[in-house]
Amino acid sequence: MRIIAGKYKGRRLNVPKGRDIRPTSDKIRGAVFNMLHSRGAIENAHVLDAFCGSGALGLEALSRGAKSCVFVDKHRASLESAKANAQALAFNGEIEFWLKDSTKLGPRPEHISPFDLLFLDPPYHKDLVNEGLNALFKGKWLSRQAWIMCETEKMAKIDMPEHCCIDDEKTYGDIKITVLQYKQD
């Protein structure tokens, strides 16, 4: 697995062995970032990589011009993998690593900027995208015009939060990518 484009293009990312982490393939990640780039969702964005695993989505966003990224995972091994990948890239910008359950973030502290771009790529077949979305909305973690990328199994149904709409949805084999836009006036 590698960074596809931007400042760190071509740099390899390590993924821990085992079945706990299911990284988004380079092909799908490329398609997702092309969609997000065409919408102006990446440049200078404050990013949340929830259920971060190896950190590939957040690191790709940083490589393409995102301003900051918070990597969140409740599994220490996953978070350590994301941290090691960030260190290997020698990224020295605004990044944080939170050992937390993405479905239980609670209210956003005042000192944390709302997120402009959010990645939700949890383990499949556990309805964690809906739980994650609920936590993010209840905790007021989203900026007024945030983009949310959800990766789920093909048959998953996303319960649409208020002020959200599906901007794009694509299926790649057994994987469904849903891009949501949140707009609050």
Q: What percent of the chain has pLDDT over 90?
A: 72
Whole-number Å distance between alpha carbons of 157 and 84: 33
Task: Name the token pair of 140.
Answer: 């007021």
One-letter amino acid identity for 45? Answer: A
Mean of the pLDDT values across residues 66-81?
94
Whole-number Å distance between alpha carbons of 36 and 32: 6
Task: Name the token pair of 133.
Answer: 């979305």
Which stretch of DSSP H or E encloses residue 39? none
Model confidence at 91, in pLDDT bands (50, 70, 90)? confident
Whole-number Å distance between alpha carbons of 180 and 160: 9
Nearest CA to 45 among 26, 24, 63?
63
Domains of the chain: residue spans and CATH: 26-182 (3.40.50.150)
Mean of the pLDDT values across residues 76-103?
91
Answer yes or no: are the C-beta atoms of 179 and 148 closer than 8 Å: yes
Residue 69's CB is within 10 A of a number of other CB atoms, namely: 29
pLDDT, residue 99, reads 97
Model confidence at 69, in pLDDT bands (50, 70, 90)? very high
Model confidence at 17, in pLDDT bands (50, 70, 90)? low
- 3-state class of 133 per DSSP? helix
Whole-number Å distance between alpha carbons of 175 and 185: 32
pLDDT of 18 > 70? The answer is no
Q: What digits encode the pLDDT tens for the residues 125-171? A: 888 999 999 999 999 999 999 999 999 999 999 998 888 999 999 99
- Using a 10 angstrom Cβ sphere, with 0-12 exposed, 13-18 middle and 19 or more buried, the burial of residue 125 is exposed
Answer yes or no: are the C-beta atoms of 47 and 70 closer than 8 Å: yes
What residues pair up with 170 in beta bridges, in sequence order?
A: 177
